[in-house]
Structure formats: C-alpha cells, structure tokens
Amino acid sequence: MAINESAAPRSLRERQRQEREQLILDAAAQVFADKGYHQATIEEIAARVGIAKGTVYLHFPTKDDLLLALLERLARAFAEMVEHIAAQPLSARERLEQIVSHTYAQLHDRRVHLLLSLGDQPGVSRQRLEEHAALRAQTQRAMQGIRAILEQGQRAGEFDAHLPLGVMLHLFLALLSPRKYGHLIKDLDLPPAELARTVLRVYLCGILARPQEDRHHP
C-alpha cells in the first residue's frame, strides 16, 4: 500500500496553523478584556503572541474577524456544554438548572463576560453576526439541545404542555443574556450561584405544570 509522503507534513502544518490561531485568539481575548474592544490593536495582540502583525492578518483579516472567531469559540463551548447536560439522566428541571449555573459561573472570568457582552452589543454589525455561518450553526446547535430538554419536560409532565414551546425557549435564552443578568450581580450584590437559582425559580414557576382545575386561572 502506497504511503502519501506529503500527508504528514501537511497534517503537521495544519496542526501548527490551528495552534497558532488559538494562541492569537487567547491573546485577543486578553487584550479585549484589558483595553476594551475599540481600544485593542492588532499590534498588541501580535506582540503578546510573539509574532508579526502580518501573521495575525493571515489568520484574521480584521479585528471584527477576531471578535467573530472568539464568539464562535464561546458558542461552540456553550453548545457542547448544553449537549453534555442534555444527555444526563436527570429531570428536565435539573438539566435547566445546570445550564444556568454553568453559564452564570463564567461571570467570574471577565474575558468571557466581556465577550458575551460584546456579542450582545457587538463592535461588529448585527448583520455580520447573523451572516456568520459557523457562529449561527453553534447557536442553533445549543438552541436545539435546550428545546429538546423543554420538550422532554412537557412530555414528562414537569412543564405545562399548554405553553408554546417557542415562548418557553426564548424566555429561557433571555436568562442567559449577560445584558439581562450582568447588572443584577453588581446592583443586588448576588453571587452567580445564588442569582442562577433565583432567576431559574422565577422562570420555572411560570412553566411548571399545574393541576387541571387550576389551568383556567391566572
């Protein structure tokens, strides 16, 4: 059987390219956190990696592309977390609690908090965010996992089966928006874990199944 002698070098080059790309993204996340998105420069990001500015541009032509790649990486990690939790042998309520708790725990990492906030009020245009196929795919992947948990909760009688699934899904996603919950930690001096339990309890009290005789009453 013939061996493709060029396959290994190409694989090595690709691995090195991917590793360099991740180093650039790590440095960009730190610079964005230290300086803010608008004050961050490609020169400083390159300096932190120890490479030439032109090398950064080979991977990411603009600062917007860096931000989009960072948001995609966060979205992928979130989707993987949702899928992992969705596969656990727990009740639907317990799985939702885990998703909220994991998300709020990231508030301690100011780089993650900043990037999530930038995604909510981005430095790039909303159109570019919506047109970014990889980011959109990871977002849809996470939404499908959460939707599946909600559907299972309705079928199991945990959640009110009369409520539209789409409304339940989008209200739950709103709990995970840093613009919605970030200020609560500062204003109310609540630790992330306690905030997660509180907001989820408020959410769940609205979707928990009620006895038949109570369904016609507000």
- Asked if pLDDT for residue 206 goes beyond 50, the answer is yes
Among 68, 77, 91, smallest CA distance to 142 is for 77
- Asked if pLDDT for residue 95 goes beyond 80, the answer is yes
Q: Rounded mean pLDDT of 64-75?
A: 88
Q: Which amino acid is at 133?
A: A
Read off the pLDDT of residues 121-148 as tens digits, 9 standing for 90 and up.
555 666 676 677 888 899 899 999 999 9
> Which has more confidence, 85 or 115?
85
* CA distance linking residue 5 with residue 68, whole number of Å: 36
- Asked if pLDDT for residue 213 goes beyond 50, the answer is no
Residue 208's alpha-carbon distances to 93, 110, 161, 168, in angstroms, are: 9, 34, 9, 11
Q: pTM of this prediction?
A: 0.79
* CA distance linking residue 148 with residue 151, whole number of Å: 5
Range of weakest confidence among 93-102, 133-142, 182-191: 182-191
Alpha helix (H) residue ranges in 156-211: 165-175, 178-188, 192-207
According to DSSP, residue 208 is labeled B
* CA distance linking residue 74 with residue 78, whole number of Å: 6
CATH 1.10.357.10: which residues of the chain?
62-214
**What is the structure's pLDDT at 154?**
95
Which residue matches tokens 């032509």? 61
Beta bridge partners, 159, equal 208
How would CATH label the architecture of 62-214?
A: Orthogonal Bundle (1.10)
- Top CATH class of 1-61 equals mainly alpha
Q: Rounded mean pLDDT of 51-78?
A: 90
* Mean pLDDT (the chain, rounded): 82
**Nearby residues of 99 by Cβ (< 8 Å), 6 or more positions away:** 81, 82, 85, 146, 149, 176
**What is the structure's pLDDT at 110?**
62
The pLDDT-based confidence of 21 (bands split at 50, 70, 90) is very high
The two tokens of residue 35 are 């300086």
Strands (E) across the chain are located at none
- Asked if pLDDT for residue 1 goes beyond 50, the answer is no
* CA distance linking residue 56 with residue 170, whole number of Å: 37
**What is the structure's pLDDT at 84?**
96
- Asked if pLDDT for residue 18 goes beyond 80, the answer is yes
CATH 1.10.10.60: which residues of the chain?
1-61
Q: What sign does the CA torsion over 55, 59, 61, 63 have?
A: negative
The dihedrals phi and psi of 101, each to the nearest 5 degrees, come to -60, -45
